[in-house]
Structure 1
Amino acid sequence: MDEDLPRPKGDNAGKLATEPLDSYSLAELDQRVAQLEAEIARVKAHQAKAAAHRLAAEAFFKPSPGGQP
């Protein structure tokens, strides 16, 4: 997926950000925070893996000095 393209409309994180929280109990809010923190950790781990993959690919395809293979 091209990171320069805008996120598709209807993205779940965007829906969560606009959901009213008034009807949630404290226990439900605690559970929601725990779930969101777990999701943040999962996304950050994937982000780090993707960054490492990209760096490896860039290093592999980087032209050698002087144009020699």
Structure 2
Amino acid sequence: MDADENLPRRKDDLVAQLAKQDLDPLSVEELNERIALLEAEIARSRNKISFALNHRASADALFRK
């Protein structure tokens, strides 16, 4: 069970807001910048997941001894 599971979800979910945003006014350059920022955020999220999994595995190994 993740500790985060007990935390309430945000009502102002930023991902949902981002998905609803109108992209029509954005130029190709702005869209490319947006994609780069989103890809950086995906990488940051994946790194956090990796850290959490490694941390959990280390803790499990420590307490099994």
Fold shared per TM-score above 0.5: yes
* Structure-2-length-normalised TM-score: 0.79
In structure 2, what is the Cα distance between the partners aligned to 1:4 and 1:20? 33
Aligned match of 2:61: 59
Superposition pairs of residues 31-42 of structure 1, within 5 angstroms: 31-42=33-44
Offset at 1:5? 5.6
Greater RCO structure (CA 8 Å; 6+ sep): 2
Higher percent of residues as helix:
2
Alignment RMSD (CA, Å) = 1.8
In structure 2, what is the Cα distance between the partners aligned to 1:12 and 1:3? 18
In structure 2, what is the Cα distance between the partners aligned to 1:36 and 1:2? 23
* Structure-1-length-normalised TM-score: 0.75
Residue by residue over 1:18-47, the C-alpha shift from the partner in whole angstroms, topping out at 9 and shown as x without a partner, is 111111111100000000001101110111
Which runs of structure 1 show a deviation greater than 4 angstroms over 4 or more consecutive aligned residues? none
Aligned length, in residue pairs? 63
**Can you give the 5+ residue segments of structure 2 that lack an aligned partner in the other structure?**
none
Identical aligned pairs, as a percentage? 46
In structure 2, what is the Cα distance between the partners aligned to 1:36 and 1:3? 24
